[in-house]
Amino acid sequence: MKQQTIGFIGGGNMAHALIGGLVADGFSAQKIWVTDLDQNKLAELKEQFHVNTSADNQSTVAQCDIVVLAVKPQVLAGVAKDIAAAVQARKSLVVSIAAGVRAADLQRWLGEETAIVRCMPNTPALVKTGATALYANARAGKSQRESAESVMRAVGLTVWVDDENLLDAVTALSGSGPAYFFLFMEAMESAGRELGLDDRTARLLTQQTALGAAKIAMESAETPAELRRRVTSPGGTTEQAIRTFEEGGLRELARNAMLAAERRSVEMSNQFGAQ
Ligand SMILES: NC(=O)C1=CN([C@@H]2O[C@H](COP(=O)(O)OP(=O)(O)OC[C@H]3O[C@@H](n4cnc5c(N)ncnc54)[C@H](O)[C@@H]3O)[C@@H](O)[C@H]2O)C=CC1
Ligand SMILES: O=C(O)[C@@H]1CCC=N1
């Protein structure tokens, strides 16, 4: 990928994950700029990744080919309106990673001509195992789409969606998804401790089991249901655990959780887009 200059507006959790993944992939830290209101966050990013930092959003936009909007959806309208003139002058490609803020609203705040790629990444980008869905507005040309995709592909898997509404589903699945697995890991670790394992052992075995299950699921042609059956010996231990999960309504719970996340994404679009 030709290394363009990338400016992150907002240097929080997700920017940290993306920057870490880009740098680990060999992207030059010299070509990365980050702005934040919080000086401590900037100092951390500078120390860890040796990126350029600034407290000034407009001047960062002025020198970057790609501007990644990585602030919370609640403050995005204000941030976008503030950098609109700089984006128009630089003709920057704007990549928004904000959950639940539609491209049309961004376009209205930034200028109707703005090329926008809306993405939904996730935090495993930090370890180059991210999953990102992308959607481009009509103003984003082929090379701009490719630029946005290259950034995200440097930190993991990318998929395009033609229907922007599908980003709400993606947010509920892979955007928020790492937290679902972490919650499950927390619960497994805690039960392991209750069963007598020390903290370190419970954590290590949980982590390695999660990694192993994910790897085998990725590398095998079998469905998760088939892989699960291979662990479940008739009359054995797994059978008891799975029965307990099924009786407790785990599938319905997972479904309801994702529907709630998707609903919130739509609600956020209506709430934060109306500014
Ligand atoms: N955390 C995650 O797993 C994911 C987050 N996202 C999206 O990424 C965006 C950022 O989320 P997080 O990194 O988790 O939030 P965060 O709160 O960790 O980071 C946002 C950063 O923006 C800074 N900020 C606030 N106002 C600013 C301004 N006017 N100028 C410059 N910086 C400003 C804050 O100080 C903060 O450091 C959100 O829109 C979220 O929807 C998307 C996918 C996954
Ligand atoms: O919780 C959120 O709103 C963001 C979007 C996906 C992950 N974190």
Give the residue whose CA is nearest to atom 2 of ligand 1.
Answer: 14
Q: If you search the block for the tokens 């180059």, which residue do you land on?
A: 128
Say whether pTM exceeds 0.90.
Answer: yes
Q: What is the tens place of the pLDDT at every residue in 220-236? A: 999 999 999 999 999 99
Q: What is the tens place of the pLDDT at every residue in 8-54? A: 999 999 999 999 999 999 999 999 999 999 999 999 999 999 999 99
Residue 250 Cα, ligand 1 centroid: separation in angstroms?
A: 31
Can you give the residue ranges of every domain in the chain?
Answer: 6-163, 177-265
Is 124 touching ligand 1 by the criterion CB < 6 Å? Answer: no
Is residue 30 helix, strand or coil? helix
The count of residues in the chain is 275
Q: What is the tens place of the pLDDT at every residue in 64-104? A: 999 999 999 999 999 999 999 999 999 999 999 999 999 99
Q: Which atom of ligand 2 is nearest to the CA of 178?
A: 7
Cβ neighbors of 174 (< 8 A, separation 6 or more) are 120, 122, 131, 132, 133
Q: What fold, for 6-163? A: Rossmann fold (3.40.50)
| Contact by Cβ (8 Å): 51, 18 | no
State which amino acid sits at residue 1. Answer: M
Across 198-209, average pLDDT: 98
Q: Do domains 6-163 and 177-265 have the same CATH topology?
A: no
Question: Which structure tokens are listed for 87?
Answer: 């984006």
Smallest-distance ligand from the CA of 42: 1
| Contact by Cβ (8 Å): 66, 6 | yes
In Å, the largest CA–CA distance within the chain is 69
Give the residue whose CA is nearest to atom 40 of ligand 1.
Answer: 98
State whether CATH 1.10.3730.10 applies to domain 177-265. Answer: yes
